[in-house]
Each structure stands twice: as structure tokens, then as C-alpha cells.
Structure 1
Amino acid sequence: MKVVVTGMGVVCSIAGSVPEFAVALREGRCGIGPVPGDGDGGPRLAATVKGFSFAGAVAALTCLPEELRQGAARAAHRSPEALQMDLVSAMQAFGHAGLHENAPPADRMGLVVAGHNLSSGYVHDMVPKYQDHPEYLPASFAIQYMDTDRVGRLSQVLGIKGEGYTVGGASASGNVGIVNGSRLVEAGAVDLCLVVGATTDLSPMEKRGFATLGAVAGAGTDEPERVRCRPFDERHEGFVPGQGSACVVLESEASARARGAEVLAELAGYDLKLDANSLPDPNEDGEAKVMTGAMEMAGVEPGQIDYVNAHATATPLGDEIEVRALGRVFGPDIGKPWVNSTKGLVGHCMCAAGVVEAVASIIQLRDGFVHPNLNLRRPIDDGCRFVRGAAQPADIQYALSNSFGFGGFNTSIVLRRPSHAPGTHG
């Protein structure tokens, strides 16, 4: 069964909607900047969403019925901001897919929330209240600290009554969600599935833990403004945490055709495999296997891939292993596909990263360009066709998007441009 994408939504540091995201990607806009430090040695750089207003974002979705928008405001106006961002991106995708006008029965729509340990920051912020006056801890805490609250709130607002659950795979969670959502559709369990890459609300302890691990850029420095996110550059210094949420609507081609929905892209292939490794170190063999597996499922050869949205977090070992895996997979065709990393613009959106980057890949695939790799001055490899400091026109028929996670999670998806979508030769 062919699975297609019929709706998208995004909230991140450089955009509050898909049209804004498309402009920001083409311009190479960067949402990364210094954050105030308190001497704990944690990350001093981040890509945060500034000026987010849940009420304003919901009110801006004028394509959706007033009743739906009012229901969203009632359901989530006192919820943590992270959940509110997820709801906005999901509502955007719901409207983009035209589900407010013509949708399958409620029990034929599914929901997968990609992410785990999503609310640690919220729990941390509630600790002082609990310590001072345990009896004043709000009753809503018992629900809102759980990852499944995202499923409950989203399904309530959007009226989704089919299968639903959360999935996790560390930084690969977004792609794990896309794989599971596609399988629900392929199995006939649902006609369509919303896959939400959930906003990860990190606690100070988690941020400090990443810094102690040596994985983040700018940890412990007194001059964070001098540090940069540099995927693929010899001076890469580690990843930069990003704040964001994204949603894609995965739907059977038959359902999309019956609804008259526009097909944005086809999810042509995917693969997900473990390394049998609990450590954070990447594995070249595992990464190469999932890229090859995704292409085999899509029925394409390496030479047919036009673009790779790399996992590329700007950690020295991670970037180098991924480039070596790309070399194994593409062989003599390694110089053909454009390669970039969206994390250089929006930071590492943690559990949401795979879905944010799937949206970025579809935008580039449909609009015929590839966004720049900012701060790439001295590439770690001369064979890859890295996008440099400015967007380039690109005729993309097939795109490969990678996501890898601590604990040996390897994932890759292949997206195909529908025949009617515009492309730019270049």
C-alpha cells in the first residue's frame, strides 16, 4: 500500500508555520543564539522559540472552524508550553490536509506522538512548589507529567479515535514515529495517521548531563557568542539543543484520492534497526544498513537519490561516522546527492528532530532547492556534495533523511516527489 504525506505543520526557532519555514530554509535563517548561563556548565547555546503565544497561534489558524479553535483553547490553555506547541503544529497539519472539511471516520484516524521523557523540565519546575506546600500541587500534574498526555490532548482536540500511542528512540524518535505511523496505514488499521514530533522540555539536570558527556557546543565557555553549530566542519564543537515541534499526516493513497487531498510527497521507503549497543557512540555499519534498507524498500538505487538530509548534529564522532556510512552506501555516486543538516539552522530538536527534518526535506523536494550548511568552512570530507553557505537550486526526485539516537537507534526514510509537484533543475 502506498503511503503519502497530505499535511504538515511546524513550530520551531525560525518559523511558526510551514510557509514561514520554507522561506527561512531558503534564506538560511539561523535560530541559534547564546542563552543566559548560571554557572552550571550546561549548554550556553540554544535554538529557542521566541515570543510563542498559544492563544495567538491558535487564533491565526483561520482555516479551521471556530469550534475547533475554541476547543483547543479550552483543552490546553493551562497546559505546559511544550504541549501547546505540539497542538499548534498538529492543528496546522490537520488543516493543511483538509481534515476539517473532509476526513475519514474518527476511528479510522490514528495518532503517533514521537518522543519520550518529554516533560522533565515541567516536572523540575514543579519541585519547589511540591517541597514548600505538597498539598498545593495541582491535580493536573498527575496527568501532565506523562508523555501520554500529549496523545490525550491532541486526540481530544482533533477528534481522533483510532489507534494511538507514543514511541521513543532517543534522537531518532521522530523517524521511529514516522515508521510506526506508516505501518498503521499499511496494515489497514487506519486510513491516515498524524505523526507528531513532540517538543522535548529538558530539565537542567538533563542539559548538564549532555554537557558532561561532551556532546553539546559551548558548555562551560565564557564566550558562547564565539561558538557555532558546525555540522560537517573540521571545527565542529557539538550539538546545540533546539526547541520545536512538527507534524506530518501520513495517509493511504486511496484515502487521499477519495478525499481529493493534495499529495505533498510519498513515503517511499524506510528502515529501523538497532546496534545492540546501549552507549551513545554511533555505528557505521548500522547507519549504512538502514540507508540501504530504506532505498531497497523504495526500489531505488543510490545513484537515484538527489538529496540527503543528514542526522549530522555537529559532534565530531557523529559527523565523521555518518559521512563514512554515506561513502559506503553511495560508493562512486557519493558526489551526486546534495547533503545538508537542518540542525545547523534550528538546532537539535531532540525527539522532534526526525519529523522537523522530514518537513524540511519535503519543502526542499517540492520547492526545488537545498538549504545551506551554515558555518561550513573546512569540510571533513571532500567527496560529499555539501551545500555551502547559500541555498542552491536542486531538482529532487528522491530524498533520504537520516535520524540516529543514543542507544543504537538507526533510522532512515526515503521521500519521493509526486509527479505533479514542481521541480527546479540546477
Structure 2
Amino acid sequence: MHRVVITGMGVISALGNNQEAFWSSLASGTPAISEITSIDVSDLRFKNAAEVKGYVPEQHFPAKDLAFLDRFAQFALIAAEEAVKQSGIEWTEALREDAAVITGSSLGGRAAEEAGYWELFHHNRTRVHPLTIPLSMSNAGASHISIRYGLQGPAYTISTACSSSAHAIGQAFHLVRSGIAPAAITGGSEATVFIGNLKAWEAMRVISKDTCRPFSADRSGLILGEGGAMLVLEPLEAALARGATPLAEIVGFGMTSDASHLTQPSHIGAARAMSKAIRDSGLAPEQFGYINAHGTATVANDRTETAAIREVFGPHANHLAISSTKSMHGHTLGAAGALEAVASILTLRNGILPPTANYTTQDPECDLDVIPNEPRPKQVEACLSNSFAFGGLNAVLAFRAYSWPGGESLTPNISA
């Protein structure tokens, strides 16, 4: 079994179109929630989302490639490019043969499907765009990344609603740790801002009309976001052998199913997933100092997650710092686990805990330290990143700082 480290990360989100801009906004507690500008939302009950701003596809892709790329797949490729560049990995023939690409997306290219349906049913056309299938298939992001870098190992997409990219990262972790894959590009992407999706969420009555206030007593629902994030995973010994700098270590993964209700979360399933991730990490619960919470700002999620954290950590829950970065970058559905994994890793590296923004008043049933509104300078050794999805599907990632606290390696004993 190999120790697995992250050597590269890439991000495109409402908080910024690269890793540096993303962290700058997170570390200053600056939300990116505003009125939707990319489409007409005059017929919607809510007007706000966390859109990717200042993004011009033609600056990243030639026209011939854009014809095959839905917005969500564009985000996947852009994030992968930044991650691969930071990692400095050289795709040798041997590495290409078995390297994995595991991505997550809940919606895939459903916007492309919607455009086709609009032509059929509104304009009474008899045919749709000939590339509708390759544009809309959920595995398009993984396939395009595989093609871009010539990676011929396992390549697939996981779709488990809001846990999709956390499941993807966990699966990639297992592949690299076991030695099945010598490296992996993993993460997720999502393009949520199209009218059919917005109308579907409007019908569920869980979208806030103003902003996202996780754990706050006056929270009124989630805010949708869009974007993508990718990680490069490698065995520690391979990374060190080529002179790479590990950004953090992924040490555990836990996944469970509530097996109880399609839309109402269970604290038992969430607690089991966290416990599994902690056990898998080999760390004591007390070594964890931060949790990037799922924190959707719905009454059901926030109270359930609080109860789950208290069940898992017991008295140590009172010493944990917890925040929901969805309060800043919105809920990106299938990409949420990937964006929040990057946020967690940057938290470990930079010694700053990002806040839960927009917080006003404590909910007595959410009585944890949720880092309200202001970032907090604090170095922690390890953290969890929680992802809980409709369908009762839970995925929790455990990360550890690569060195702690004064630069010494946390991974002196490498097993092959």
C-alpha cells in the first residue's frame, strides 16, 4: 500500500478562475454570490447564484474544440490543466499506460440536452445538434482529460448527486494507494446555470432568495454555484523521487448510504462516513482540527451534520473548527466535493481557516464553532471534507498536512 499525496491542484469557480484567486477570496471571507447575469431569470422566484465571472471560452479553447465541449467539460479541462502544470508531472509512456482519470458530475452536459429539447418542442424542429450526445454525456470531462494527456488507464465519471466528486477523489485515492494506478487526475465539474435546472431547484423550495447562511438561525436555503476543481494524486515515493513538493496527503476515505430516505438526510449515515474516513486515516479523532462541512444552509442538512459531528467526535467536537465554504462559492452540486477538497488542502498549507460567511445568529441546534464571518489564522494537522447527497449517499475525505508543525515530514515510513 502506498501513501498518496496531492502534487497539483486546479480550480475555476465563482471565487476565481485559478487556485490563487480562489484561495484569496476564501482566505478573506469574500462571498461570490450575486444576481445571475448569464441568462434571463425574470421568471424565477430566486435571482442569485455563484457564477463563474470573466470567463471567455475562446481564450482557452479553439473553436474546433469548443464544438465538442459543454461548459462543464470546459471547466474540467481548465482545472486539470492548472493541476497538471503545478504538479510538474511528466507523462512518460509507462505512466500514461495506467494513469487514471476519475471525475464526478451530477448534471453533466444537461444544458446541451436542454438546448436540443428547446429546438424540438419550442421551435418544432425535427432534429437536434449532431453533437448533442458527446456534449451532454456526463463522462465527457473525464474523456477529454484522458485524451488531452494520453492517459490510458481507468477513466470514468461518478454521478452521486452532491457527493459525486468526493466519491471520485476517494476512488482515485484507492486506485493509487493500491498500486492499480501509478497516478490519477481526479475531481469534478458542474455547470448549473441553465433554466431547466434552475426551475427544477425552484420547485424543490430549497433555494434562498438572497444568500447562503449555513448554520445560521435565519438561513433560508442554498445558493447554486458552478465551476470545477481537479487534483493530481501520486504515491509519495514517486513524488519525492522526481523532486515534486507534496501539497498535502490524502489519508482516508469513508463512504456510506443512509438507506432511509431519498431527500431527508440521516445523521447516522453521515456519522458512519466520517468515522470510516477517520479509521482509514489511522489518526486519532483529536488530531483533526478542522472540518470543511457540507453545510448547505438548509434546516435539514445543517442540523443533521451538526448531530453527526457531535456523535463522531464526542467532547472533541467542542474544540473543532468547522466552516461551510458554500457560503462563498455556492453549492456546485457534483463539483462541490472537489472544490471543498482544494479548500481543505489550502487550509492545511496556509494555516488560515476559511469562515462561514453571511452568518448572523446561532441556531441552538447548530452549536459548533462555525468560524463566523472572519477567517481565523490557525495551523491544524488534519481535516475532513464532508459531502452528503440526495439519495442518502455520503462521502468523506481525510487530509493531513504534509509537514507538521515545523517542516518535519509526517510520512517517514514509506511502504511500497
Instruction: Check 1:254–1:134 CA distance in 2 against 1; reply closer, same or farther (3 A cut).
Output: farther
Residue 52, structure 1, aligned to residue 55, structure 2: yes
91, 108, 127: which one pairs with 2:117?
Answer: 127
For 2:234 and 2:51, the matched residues in 1 are separated by 31
How big is each residue's C-alpha offset from its partner over 1:258-280, in whole Å with a ceiling of 9 and x where there is no partner?
32221111111110010113511
For 2:219 and 2:93, the matched residues in 1 are separated by 46
Instruction: Check 1:53–1:202 CA distance in 2 against 1; reply closer, same or farther (3 A cut).
Output: closer
Instruction: Check 1:309–1:236 CA distance in 2 against 1; reply closer, same or farther (3 A cut).
Output: same
For 1:417 and 1:32, the matched residues in 2 are separated by 30
The equivalent residue for 1:23 is 24
Gaps of 5+ in 2: 408-416
Matches within 5 A, 1:159-170: 159-170=150-161
For 2:355 and 2:107, the matched residues in 1 are separated by 32
The equivalent residue for 1:97 is 87
Kept in 2, the 8 Å contact 1:76–1:84? The answer is no
For 2:195 and 2:170, the matched residues in 1 are separated by 31
Kept in 1, the 8 Å contact 2:36–2:51? The answer is no
Residue 185, structure 1, aligned to residue 176, structure 2: yes
For 1:279 and 1:160, the matched residues in 2 are separated by 36
Matched length? 401
The equivalent residue for 1:222 is none
Residue 258, structure 1, aligned to residue 241, structure 2: yes
Q: Secondary structure at the match of 1:196?
A: strand
133-142 vs 381-390, greater mean Cα deviation: 133-142
Residue 359, structure 1, aligned to residue 348, structure 2: no
For 1:262 and 1:103, the matched residues in 2 are separated by 22
For 1:391 and 1:350, the matched residues in 2 are separated by 24
How big is each residue's C-alpha offset from its partner over 1:182-235, in whole Å with a ceiling of 9 and x where there is no partner?
1111232211111131223454333222222221111xxxxxxxx221001001
Q: Secondary structure at the match of 1:162?
A: coil
The equivalent residue for 2:4 is 3
The equivalent residue for 2:412 is none
Residue 410, structure 1, aligned to residue 394, structure 2: yes
For 2:90 and 2:115, the matched residues in 1 are separated by 36
The equivalent residue for 2:414 is none
Kept in 2, the 8 Å contact 1:111–1:151? The answer is yes
Letter in 1 for 2:256: K
Instruction: Check 1:374–1:117 CA distance in 2 against 1; reply closer, same or farther (3 A cut).
Output: closer
Letter in 2 for 1:25: L
375-384 vs 351-360, greater mean Cα deviation: 375-384
Instruction: Check 1:410–1:142 CA distance in 2 against 1; reply closer, same or farther (3 A cut).
Output: closer
Q: In the TM superposition, what is the alpha-carbon distance from 1:395 to its structure 2 partner? A: 1.0
Matches within 5 A, 1:315-330: 315-330=298-313
Residue 84, structure 1, aligned to residue 74, structure 2: yes
For 1:101 and 1:186, the matched residues in 2 are separated by 19
Instruction: Check 1:201–1:228 CA distance in 2 against 1; reply closer, same or farther (3 A cut).
Output: closer
For 2:30 and 2:235, the matched residues in 1 are separated by 34
How big is each residue's C-alpha offset from its partner over 1:146-178, in whole Å with a ceiling of 9 and x where there is no partner?
112222222111221111011111101111001
For 2:308 and 2:404, the matched residues in 1 are separated by 33
Residue 141, structure 1, aligned to residue 142, structure 2: no
The equivalent residue for 1:399 is 383
* Aligned-residue RMSD, C-alpha: 2.1
Residue 106, structure 1, aligned to residue 96, structure 2: yes
How big is each residue's C-alpha offset from its partner over 1:57-112, in whole Å with a ceiling of 9 and x where there is no partner?
x4xxxxxxxxxxxxx64763332222212110011111111125778521121101
The equivalent residue for 2:146 is 155
Letter in 2 for 1:45: N
Q: In the TM superposition, what is the alpha-carbon distance from 1:117 to its structure 2 partner? A: 2.9
Q: Secondary structure at the match of 2:398?
A: strand
Residue 386, structure 1, aligned to residue 387, structure 2: no
163, 166, 169: which one pairs with 1:175?
Answer: 166
TM score, norm. by length of structure 2: 0.91
Instruction: Check 1:206–1:337 CA distance in 2 against 1; reply closer, same or farther (3 A cut).
Output: same
272, 276, 280: which one pairs with 2:259?
Answer: 276
For 2:308 and 2:187, the matched residues in 1 are separated by 28
How big is each residue's C-alpha offset from its partner over 1:223-253, in whole Å with a ceiling of 9 and x where there is no partner?
xxxx221001001101000011000111111
